[in-house]
């Protein structure tokens, strides 16, 4: 066994046909890394949704997802994790890579014999998730370049170019390197190119271990084969490559060095790919000639197709019994014994600091993220155009509808002014909140993925996002005010115009913050969009125009002080009516008094709008922190320093006596 699964530097070169490019694995300077794990158990508490097993009359409050798995993943080898849907493939990958763990974990994981608690493995590994979301406005080349810049502090242009070129060449992305990623509305690269870009992003920086969750999902057979061939090349360069895969074709299956077969969270097979057919044949499952071994495992072994299930046994129970039986067979096998002895004698070679995946400092992250956000906004012409067009069109409509109100009778003039001021506020609040919510919800997926991949941290991202968006929220109200203000006939001196524009700008910033905050409340954009009207209608009702807030019941009237529309409306109305007299009569102040807008005047209202904006931005930050840390605001994150000290430290004592392995 030791021979069959030993690390082979002498793996024969693959026939890559037209994909054979000049490939120099020298870029990967990372140390070879062996991941070993023993008795891994991962279970989820079912909490309030306790499942009741009516037959046995017991309450199950825990679901075991990974059930006592032991194994070794070695450098230079491409390992496939396979199994039926729901068998625990993604959970095992997450467990090994230390991502998305929401349940209880027991067992041990080591990297070259060092205990990998506290997510230390993330320092030397990259994870490519199934949802390869990327900013649609960026090109393949820019995405790879950004990934490198986020990893290497102060990288020189020459090295950057060489790393980028290497990644592009290796992943066969030359043809589409200047094509934008695109999305469903604006088609960009193909699905296969997108997948390869995701791999290129991660392999452009050194890493000893590469985890992939279904890299071939949604791809045709030909492109899937290409992707797996590329993974094989990466493995041959010395990395440990582990991929979850669904139903591979026989060509793809033959490329794997090792296979992990799971059923109901249990190990059914864990060893060399070329031993799988003999192994199952030995325990009574003979693979027919000319049959894809992967198909054979799914149909003949894991489902025992053709076998009659007793009508008294449910499919689930049958599956459980079968998994139990197959895993017992596995545990008794010679291959399992060899694997256990491998786990007891792992490679314990030193891991150099050069193998650690770095991130740049927070200020450099902020700089890069601001540049990216500006570029993204400049390219996202549709959103900018919509914002500008909205301001022009609504400004013109207001100008026409309320045209020259100044020269109407006093009653008409005041009625028109009130209507124009209130709906000016609404026009700079509602559309902004909806636009921000819909665009930010899409961006959020990208940010979540990048945060998980530890390209940057949330604070630099959020600061850059707010900084870059502020100008857009300023331009809209300025355009709107420039068009409508003088057409309506508001006070003509410039200072009144400036105060009017400032009030609307501050309101627009509040709408921006509300849009971001709402997107952090819900996982689904549809739910968030349905919830938003409620968050907008309440400030509208308490805005001071629809209902006289002075007449409201005290226990509900306080809500007016939380409404940014109220402060903006008060600011704009005071700006137009304060000190307005007719024949010495203080008509404007009387009107203001009758509106019960409160004692805050222009400056006070501006300060409150600023305060509400700050509160909402801080709330948005914590909302983002909550959703990007899986709902746990105070997640225990281990510092990079601690992770480094774990990996640079001595191997576990139990392995020191066996310190004889060499790759």
Q: Which stretch binds ligand ATP (CB under 6 A): 79-87, 232-240, 513-521, 584-592?
A: 79-87
Q: Which tokens is 246 given?
A: 């669904």
Q: In Å, what is the CA distance from 38 to each residue of 80, 95, 323, 324?
A: 18, 12, 19, 18
Q: Of the two residues 9 and 102, which places its CB atom closer to ligand ATP in the complex?
A: 102
Tell the smallest beta-carbon distance from residue 309 to ligand ATP (Å). Answer: 20
Percent of the chain that is helix, strand, coil (3-state, to 5):
55, 10, 35
Q: Of the two residues 89 and 266, which places its CB atom closer to ligand ATP in the complex?
A: 89
Q: In Å, what is the CA distance from 120 to each residue of 75, 131, 644?
A: 18, 24, 7
Tell the smallest beta-carbon distance from residue 86 to ligand ATP (Å). Answer: 4
Three-state SS for 446? Answer: helix
Task: Report if residue 86 touches ligand ATP, rule: CB under 6 A.
Answer: yes
Tell the smallest beta-carbon distance from residue 134 to ligand ATP (Å). Answer: 21
Task: Report if residue 248 touches ligand ATP, rule: CB under 6 A.
Answer: no
Task: Report if residue 427 touches ligand ATP, rule: CB under 6 A.
Answer: no
314 contact partners, CB below 8 Å, separation of at least 6:
none
Q: Which stretch binds ligand ATP (CB under 6 A): 89-97, 182-190, 319-327, 634-642?
A: 89-97
Q: How many residues bind ligand ATP (CB under 6 A)?
A: 12
Please pick, from the candidates 20, 102, 250, 344, the single residue that binds ligand ATP as defined by CB under 6 A.
102
Task: Report if residue 247 touches ligand ATP, rule: CB under 6 A.
Answer: no
- Compute the half-sphere exposure of residue 161: CA atoms within 13 Å on the CB side of its CA: 3
| The 62-73 sheet, strands edge to edge | 62-73, 35-45, 104-111, 114-115
Cα torsion 434, 437, 438, 439: sign? positive
Tell the smallest beta-carbon distance from residue 71 to ligand ATP (Å). Answer: 16
Q: Of the two residues 129 and 575, which places its CB atom closer to ligand ATP in the complex?
A: 129
Task: Report if residue 87 touches ligand ATP, rule: CB under 6 A.
Answer: yes
Q: Are 647 and 122 in contact (CB under 8 A)?
A: no
Q: Of the two residues 327 and 376, which places its CB atom closer to ligand ATP in the complex?
A: 327
Tell the smallest beta-carbon distance from residue 213 to ligand ATP (Å). Answer: 8
Between residue 432 and residue 451, which ones bind ligand ATP under the rule CB under 6 A? none
d(CA 198, CA 237): 19
Q: Which stretch binds ligand ATP (CB under 6 A): 68-76, 78-86, 420-428, 521-529?
A: 78-86
Three-state SS for 138? Answer: coil
Rg (C-alpha) for the chain, rounded Å, is 31
Closest CA relative to residue 199, chosen from 110, 124, 126, 137: 126
Tell the smallest beta-carbon distance from residue 92 to ligand ATP (Å). Answer: 7
C-alpha distance across the termini of the chain, in Å:
16
Task: Report if residue 91 touches ligand ATP, rule: CB under 6 A.
Answer: yes
Q: Are 344 and 659 in contact (CB under 8 A)?
A: no
Tell the smallest beta-carbon distance from residue 656 to ligand ATP (Å). Answer: 34
Helix 362-379, helix 140-151: angle, nearest 10: 170
Tell the smallest beta-carbon distance from residue 45 to ligand ATP (Å). Answer: 9
Which helix H or strand E contains 517, and what residues bound it? helix 494-521
Q: Are 464 and 443 in contact (CB under 8 A)?
A: no
Tell the smallest beta-carbon distance from residue 259 to ligand ATP (Å). Answer: 14
Tell the smallest beta-carbon distance from residue 445 to ligand ATP (Å). Answer: 18
Tell the smallest beta-carbon distance from residue 53 to ligand ATP (Å). Answer: 16
Q: Which stretch binds ligand ATP (CB under 6 A): 10-18, 84-92, 119-127, 267-275?
A: 84-92
Q: Of the two residues 50 and 654, which places its CB atom closer to ligand ATP in the complex?
A: 50
Q: Of the two residues 129 and 441, which places its CB atom closer to ligand ATP in the complex?
A: 129
Q: Which stretch binds ligand ATP (CB under 6 A): 87-95, 499-507, 531-539, 621-629?
A: 87-95
Which one-letter DSSP state was computed for residue 59? E
Q: Of the two residues 407 and 524, which places its CB atom closer to ligand ATP in the complex?
A: 524
64 contact partners, CB below 8 Å, separation of at least 6:
41, 42, 43, 265
Between residue 39 and residue 68, which ones bind ligand ATP under the rule CB under 6 A? 44, 63, 65
d(CA 224, CA 210): 17
Tell the smallest beta-carbon distance from residue 474 to ligand ATP (Å). Answer: 43
SS (H, E, C) 229-289: HHHHHHHHCCCEEEEECCCCCHHHHHHCCEEEEEECCEEEEEEEHHHHHHHHHHCCCCCCC
660 contact partners, CB below 8 Å, separation of at least 6:
345
Q: Of the two residues 91 and 518, which places its CB atom closer to ligand ATP in the complex?
A: 91
Q: Of the two residues 24 and 45, which places its CB atom closer to ligand ATP in the complex?
A: 45
Please pick, from the candidates 36, 70, 79, 90, the single residue that binds ligand ATP as defined by CB under 6 A.
90
SS (H, E, C) 31-53: CCCCEEEEEEEEEEECCCCCEEE
Q: Of the two residues 61 and 640, which places its CB atom closer to ligand ATP in the complex?
A: 61
Please pick, from the candidates 18, 26, 53, 85, the single residue that binds ligand ATP as defined by CB under 6 A.
85
Q: Of the two residues 51 and 385, which places its CB atom closer to ligand ATP in the complex?
A: 51
Q: Which stretch binds ligand ATP (CB under 6 A): 82-90, 251-259, 476-484, 622-630?
A: 82-90
Please pick, from the candidates 32, 76, 88, 136, the single residue that binds ligand ATP as defined by CB under 6 A.
88
Please pick, from the candidates 32, 71, 75, 83, the single residue that binds ligand ATP as defined by CB under 6 A.
83
Calculate the CA dihedral of residues 220, 225, 230, 231 and round it to 10 degrees: 100
Q: Are 595 and 548 in contact (CB under 8 A)?
A: yes
Cα 578 to its chain centre, rounded Å, is 50
Between residue 149 and residue 208, which ones bind ligand ATP under the rule CB under 6 A? none
d(CA 468, CA 374): 6
Phi and psi at 487, nearest 5°, equal -65, -40
Tell the smallest beta-carbon distance from residue 44 to ligand ATP (Å). Answer: 4
Task: Report if residue 635 touches ligand ATP, rule: CB under 6 A.
Answer: no
Between residue 15 and residue 44, which ones bind ligand ATP under the rule CB under 6 A? 44
Q: Of the two residues 89 and 643, which places its CB atom closer to ligand ATP in the complex?
A: 89
Q: Which stretch binds ligand ATP (CB under 6 A): 85-93, 345-353, 405-413, 450-458?
A: 85-93
Q: Of the two residues 140 and 219, which places its CB atom closer to ligand ATP in the complex?
A: 219
Residues of the shown chain interacting with ligand ATP in the complex, contacts defined by CB under 6 A: 44, 63, 65, 83, 85-91, 102
């Amino acid at each position: 066994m030791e021979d069959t699964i030993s690390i082979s530097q002498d793996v024969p070169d693959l026939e890559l046909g037209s994909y054979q490019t000049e490939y120099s694995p020298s870029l990967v300077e990372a140390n070879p890394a062996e991941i070993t794990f023993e008795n891994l158990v991962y279970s989820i508490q079912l909490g309030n949704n306790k499942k009741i097993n009516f037959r046995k009359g017991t309450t199950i409050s825990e679901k075991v997802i990974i059930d006592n798995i032991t194994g070794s993943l070695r450098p230079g080898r491409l390992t496939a994790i396979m199994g039926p849907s729901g068998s625990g493939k993604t959970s095992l990958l997450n467990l090994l890579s230390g991502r998305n763990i929401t349940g209880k974990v027991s067992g041990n994981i080591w990297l070259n014999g060092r205990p990998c608690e506290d997510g230390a493995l993330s320092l030397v590994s990259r994870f490519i998730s199934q949802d390869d979301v990327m900013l649609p406005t960026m090109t393949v080349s820019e995405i790879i370049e950004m990934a490198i810049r986020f990893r290497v502090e102060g990288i020189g242009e020459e090295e950057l170019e060489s790393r980028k070129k290497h990644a592009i060449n290796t992943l066969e992305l030359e043809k589409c390197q200047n094509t934008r990623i695109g999305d469903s509305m604006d088609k960009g690269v193909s699905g296969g190119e997108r997948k390869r870009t995701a791999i290129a992003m991660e392999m452009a920086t050194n890493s000893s271990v590469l985890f992939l969750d279904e890299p071939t999902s949604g791809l045709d057979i030909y492109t899937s084969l290409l992707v797996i061939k590329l993974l094989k090349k990466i493995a041959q360069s010395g990395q440990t490559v582990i991929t979850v895969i669904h139903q591979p074709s026989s060509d793809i299956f033959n490329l794997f060095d090792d296979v992990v077969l799971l059923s109901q969270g249990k190990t059914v097979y864990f060893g060399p790919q070329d031993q799988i057919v003999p192994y199952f044949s030995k325990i009574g499952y003979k693979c027919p000639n000319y049959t894809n071994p992967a198909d054979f495992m799914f149909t003949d072994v894991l489902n025992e197709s053709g076998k009659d299930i007793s009508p008294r046994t449910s499919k689930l129970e049958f599956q459980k019994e079968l998994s139990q039986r197959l895993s017992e067979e596995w545990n008794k096998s010679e291959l399992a014994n060899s694997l256990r002895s491998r786990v007891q004698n792992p490679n314990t070679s030193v891991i150099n600091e050069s193998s650690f995946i770095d991130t740049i400092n927070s200020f450099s992250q902020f700089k890069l993220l601001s540049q990216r956000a500006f570029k993204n906004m400049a390219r996202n012409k549709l959103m900018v155009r919509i914002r500008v067009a909205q301001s022009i069109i609504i400004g013109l409509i207001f100008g026409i509808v309320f045209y020259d109100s100044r020269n109407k009778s006093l009653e008409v003039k005041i009625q028109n002014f009130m209507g124009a001021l209130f709906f000016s506020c609404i026009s700079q609040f509602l559309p902004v909140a909806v636009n921000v919510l819909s665009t930010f919800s899409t961006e959020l997926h990208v940010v979540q993925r990048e945060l998980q991949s530890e390209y940057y941290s949330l604070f630099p991202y959020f600061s850059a996002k707010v900084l870059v968006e502020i100008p857009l929220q300023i331009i809209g109200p300025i355009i709107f005010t420039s068009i409508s203000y003088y057409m309506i006939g508001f006070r003509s001196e410039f200072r009144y115009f400036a105060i009017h524009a400032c009030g609307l700008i501050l309101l627009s910033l509040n709408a921006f913050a509300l849009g971001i905050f709402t997107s952090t409340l819900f996982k689904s954009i549809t739910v968030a969009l349905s919830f938003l009207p409620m968050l907008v209608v309440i400030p509208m009702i308490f805005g001071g125009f629809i209902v006289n807030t002075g007449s409201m019941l005290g226990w509900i009237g306080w809500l007016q002080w939380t409404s940014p529309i109220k402060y903006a409306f008060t600011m704009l109305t005071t700006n137009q009516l304060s000190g307005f007299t007719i024949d010495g009569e203080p008509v404007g102040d009387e009107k203001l008094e009758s509106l019960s807008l409160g004692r805050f005047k222009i400056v006070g209202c501006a300060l409150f709008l600023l305060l509400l904006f700050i509160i909402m931005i801080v709330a948005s930050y914590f909302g983002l922190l909550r959703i990007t840390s899986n709902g746990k605001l105070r997640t225990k994150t281990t510092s990079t320093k601690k992770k480094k000290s774990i990996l640079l430290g001595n191997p576990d004592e139990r392995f020191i006596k066996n310190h004889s392995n060499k790759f």
